[in-house]
Amino acid sequence: MSGLPGSRTSLGPGEASHPQSPLDTRIRQPLTEARFQQLFGDTEQEPELPAEPRLLRLCGRWRQRARTCSWLGAWHLLQARLPPLRWLPQYRWRAWALGDAVAGVTVGVVHVPQGMAFALLTSVPPVFGLYTSFFPVLIYSLLGTGRHLSTGTFAVLSLMTGSAVERLVPEPVAGNLSGSEREQLDAQRVGVAAAVAFGSGALMLGMFVLQLGVLSIFLSEPVVKALTSGAALHVLVSQLPSLLGLSLPRQIGCFSLFKTLAAVLTALPQSSPAELTISALSLALLVPVKELNVRFRDRLPTPIPGEVVMVLLASVLCYTSSLDTRYNVQVVGLLPEGFPQPLLPSMVELPRILADSLPIALVAFAVSTSLASIYADKYNYTIDPNQELLAHGVSNLLSSLFSCFPNSATLATTSLLVDAGGNTQLAGLFSCMVVLSVLLWLGPFFYYLPKAVLACINISSMRQMFFQMQELPQLWHISRMDFAVWVVTWVAVVTLNVDLGLAVGVVFSMMTVVCRTQRVQFLALGLAEGTELYRPLRESHKLLQVPGLCILSYPTPLYFGTRGQFRRLLEWHLGLGEQGKDSPKPDGPSDAAAEPVRVVVLDFSGVTFVDAAGAREVAQLASRCQDAGIHLLLAQCNASVLETLARAGLLNRVTPEQLFVSVQDAAAHALERLVRDKSVRSGKQVLG
């Protein structure tokens, strides 16, 4: 067969050759790693310097960076940290300004009722939801890299923060608080919520300093979607008392959803008919409007502001009918004008809220980064995960000084901004103007707004999260393992709580990755006839096998969790020890040749990393093969794997001539060795 690796062909007329070049023939000689580095590696090796302390090396690197610093480098760094310096000079005023203005005003109009509604989830007065819809949006517009991202209050974060607030500052059992006692309780709760925002912002800034933006990948898409979908169910159940006009203490901890349902069913005869009627009418308006906005988003010039219409109608109805005095309907009350004075959150609260700040920081960063990535891919630009950490960290940290609770990108308003024609972060400034006008001038108009309407706004805003369950059949079809991750995370979030559900989802997701690496089998390779390609034997019966030669590919990292399986499979394939002789046959290709293995080629192209345990296992394998008279060859080891294997003592058991750059080179060398050792009878036998 002319295509057999290692075979020679004569040069044609006019073809030049060079005696020192490995490419002077059509079929070259096998290349070892050492020979490849000699021919194609760096010709000039830098002289080895004497070892110096690690601290001195780090100082030397910093001095080198300081010497290379220039005004141009400082300007590039400033542009990276303040993205408007990069995109504002390229802003298309005629094409984008109108779209940003319309989208910003539309999102700002929605921020007002939604911010007050999510403040109720956080267990703080409604006006603090307006603060959280202003300061974080302004800061992200200056620091964020997501052009189509809308930040502010987010239901999942509000729910998680509300659980911490209720745990640390619970409602008195006696109830019926006086005005001053209610103000004192609200002030304590606002302080705890601001401390949670401060802690989560500080954690994100710490992650930015350590350049840990890559951590977002550990919250996989099934985990994030199951988390938000399960949290939406928590939001729905937590708003039932407000819908029915029941004054019930908020349930926290594990099984809080079921405790709330039991409390609502028990107190159902005491529900307020007036608030129940307001809730039914509000949902009857909000839900169809949401559906119309989704179905006719391409035909509508701008989405219908159903929340604003509902707020106006409910406020007018409550004012004209005196529902608050006649039927004791709970209303928002007076919204303070202006801004609160900057106040540093109490440092005493930080140790108590640290356990709550960490999952909130992770969820905020994961949701914001995934949303930003979706729209960045759609509109062909890139985001910087580390800069997003800085933007959201500063946003939460600074806004906490103005009594804001944790914030992030939001699903509903981001979709609304894109549908309304938003193009850049400039839309956030227009949104801030709308919220600012409410804080300065329009606040008194919301005095008679029933809180039941805010609860209905909370529920209707969960539409997208509820409909994420429609993706489950498709997820089952694509990957049943991801389907299992989605279901386990959702069940954990619903039955336990959001924090523990997130932890369970992340751990289970990582365990599925570990389990999949442990279920990988060795692939026995054979030569495809007429080519130099080696393919798994199970794929075809037309692959050539050579008696005495075994070529195995191991397509997974070799670490402490897979070293046992690695040893057992090799013992079976090579017939080493009692395990190889007596163990039942695993799933895999059958051996075509009854002759014992003389040469084994291990394809390590799929081994991305090796730890100390895995490296020692390979070194022990080399010793066992040497004792059994089996010639071991390694192919396609990457540099880091080779370095780890060398440190584990592999080069004391094998020579550099047993390390090859490809499977083809290793197989060609193996065939030459089998011919020399007379392991096959003739060249025809080698060819199959």
Question: pTM for the whole thing?
Answer: 0.76
Q: Is the pLDDT of residue 55 over 80?
A: no
- Cα 78–chain centre separation: 27
d(CA 102, CA 320): 32
Q: How confident is the model at residue 35 (pLDDT cuts 50, 70, 90)?
A: confident
Q: Write the CA distances from 350 to 164, 171, 345, integer angstroms.
A: 12, 21, 9
Q: Is the pLDDT of residue 554 over 80?
A: yes
pLDDT for the residue numbered 401: 93
Give bridge partners of residue 128 from the DSSP assignment: none
Q: Is the pLDDT of residue 488 over 90?
A: yes
pLDDT for the residue numbered 688: 44
d(CA 227, CA 677): 63
CA torsion sign for 288, 293, 296, 299 is: positive
- 686 or 521: which carries more pLDDT confidence? 521
Q: Write the CA distances from 446 to 399, 441, 459, integer angstroms.
A: 23, 11, 20
* Tokens encoding 410: 């939001």
For 17, residues 6+ apart whose C-beta sits below 8 A from its C-beta are 11, 24, 25
Q: Is the pLDDT of residue 166 over 70?
A: yes
- 518 or 599: which carries more pLDDT confidence? 599
Q: If you average pLDDT over residues 349-359, what whole number do you get?
A: 87
Least confident of 32-41, 123-132, 556-565: 32-41
Q: Is the pLDDT of residue 581 over 60?
A: no
Least confident of 2-6, 250-254, 638-642: 2-6
Element (H, E) at 663: helix 663-676
* Tokens encoding 587: 């799933």
Q: If you average pLDDT over residues 523-544, what whole number do you get?
A: 74
Q: Is the pLDDT of residue 121 over 90?
A: no
Q: If you average pLDDT over residues 558-582, what whole number do you get?
A: 79
Q: Is the pLDDT of residue 12 over 60?
A: no
DSSP category for residue 441: I
Q: Is the pLDDT of residue 679 over 60?
A: no
CA torsion sign for 54, 58, 64, 68 is: positive
- Give the residue carrying structure tokens 């794997």: 641
- Give the residue carrying structure tokens 């540099």: 639
Determine how many CB atoms are found less than 10 A away from the CB of residue 642.
17
Most confident of 581-585, 589-593, 654-658: 654-658
H-helix segments, 426-497 = 426-437, 451-460, 463-466, 472-478, 480-495
Encode pLDDT of 413-456 as tens digits: 888 888 888 888 899 999 999 999 999 988 888 888 888 888 88
Report the residue count for the chain.
688
Average pLDDT, the chain: 82
d(CA 155, CA 458): 8
DSSP secondary structure string for all residues of 197-215 = HHHHHHHHHHHHHTT-GGG
Nearest to 107 by CA among 430, 438, 409: 430
pLDDT for the residue numbered 27: 54
User: What is the 3-state composition of the chain as percent helix, strand, coil, each rounded to the nearest 5?
Assistant: 60, 5, 35
The terminus-to-terminus CA distance of the chain in angstroms comes to: 10
Torsions phi, psi for 526 (to 5 deg): -135, 160
Q: How confident is the model at residue 174 (pLDDT cuts 50, 70, 90)?
A: low
* Tokens encoding 132: 């959280």
pLDDT for the residue numbered 132: 94
Give bridge partners of residue 543 from the DSSP assignment: 528
Nearest to 520 by CA among 547, 558, 555: 555
Q: Is the pLDDT of residue 41 over 80?
A: no
Q: Write the CA distances from 246 to 252, 260, 276, 334, 447, integer angstroms.
A: 17, 12, 10, 22, 20
Q: Is the pLDDT of residue 116 over 60?
A: yes
Give bridge partners of residue 610 from the DSSP assignment: 558
Least confident of 69-83, 92-106, 355-369, 607-621: 69-83
Q: How confident is the model at residue 398 (pLDDT cuts 50, 70, 90)?
A: very high
pLDDT for the residue numbered 42: 55
Q: How confident is the model at residue 393 (pLDDT cuts 50, 70, 90)?
A: very high
Percent of the chain with pLDDT over 90: 21
Q: How confident is the model at residue 57 (pLDDT cuts 50, 70, 90)?
A: low
Torsions phi, psi for 399 (to 5 deg): -70, -25
pLDDT for the residue numbered 64: 62
